[in-house]
Amino acid sequence: MRKTLAISGIAVASALALSACNSSDSSSGMQMGSSSVPAPASSQQAAGHNNDDVAFAQQMIPHHKQALDMAKMVSSRSTNPKVVDLANRIEKAQDPEIQQMQGWLSTWGVSSASAMPSMSDHNMPGMGSPSMPMPGGSMPGMMSDADMAKLDQMKGAEFDQMWLDMMIKHHQGAVDMAKTELAKGSDADAKALAQKIIDAQQAEITEMQGLLPKG
């Protein structure tokens, strides 16, 4: 009887030990398996862009479009050939940039800024984000409808002065937005365009300041 009990005890102990071993191996295997599989990157990281890149494109498109509207006014209103030449250069530079940014938004699978509500809409989706501060609900340098209507009524030297004053402010807003993209964006192409905008529009700001009447 004692011998039978002893054998039973050994069998139970062996079974417990084998069970513990199997459990340990399984746990170890699970740990090894989990550690060998890298955590998936977010879809935005994998795509090479982030929310700041999207905001930059969505906001810069309507910003550029207003600059084009202003540039197109010049040929029929200005008396200064230098202003006319500058307006033509702005139009030729910014229209391709609009096309480029619209292409990014399509590739990224987000809505185009052209389909977004009016810039006067203070509840515009994606606007007023911490990365792109827009006091008063509008983008830096954007002209109001009243400003554009007033400019539309001007002719000659008065038009030239108002246009230059407005375009300087408009360009400075674009430069500020581009600097935010450089600081917070992650897409290489978007950051390259931001630097291009800074270089080109800062130079044009200096040029326009030189065209303003002295005194």
Distance of CA 1 to the CA centre of its chain: 84
Asked which of 35-44, 54-63, 110-119, 178-187 is least confident by mean pLDDT, the reply is: 35-44
Please name the residue that has the structure tokens 């795509």. 47
Residue 20 lies in a domain: no
Residue 172 lies in a domain: yes
Report the mean per-residue pLDDT for the chain.
78
* pLDDT the model gives residue 47: 53
Residue 123 lies in a domain: no
Whole-structure pTM over 0.85, yes or no? no
User: Averaged over 194-199, what is the pLDDT?
Assistant: 98
Residue 177 lies in a domain: yes
* pLDDT the model gives residue 130: 35
Q: Quick check: 175 and 208 in contact, CB under 8 A?
A: no
Residue 128 lies in a domain: no
Asked which of 55-64, 73-82, 106-115, 137-146 is least confident by mean pLDDT, the reply is: 106-115
Residue 168 lies in a domain: yes
Taking only the tens place, the pLDDT of each residue in 66-78 is 999 999 999 999 9
Distance of CA 101 to the CA centre of its chain: 9
Answer yes or no: is pLDDT of 31 > 50.
Answer: no
Residue 37 lies in a domain: no
CA-based R_g, the chain, Å:
31
- Which is higher by pLDDT, 56 or 36? 56
* pLDDT the model gives residue 3: 47
CA 133, CA 139: separation in Å to the nearest integer? 8
Which residue range forms the structural domain that includes residue 205? 46-112+134-211
Q: Quick check: 63 and 141 in contact, CB under 8 A?
A: yes
- Which is higher by pLDDT, 206 or 5? 206
Residue 72 lies in a domain: yes
User: Averaged over 89-117, what is the pLDDT?
Assistant: 86
Give how many domains the chain has, as a whole number.
Answer: 1
Residue 155 sits in a domain of what CATH number? Answer: 1.20.1260.10
- Which is higher by pLDDT, 59 or 17? 59
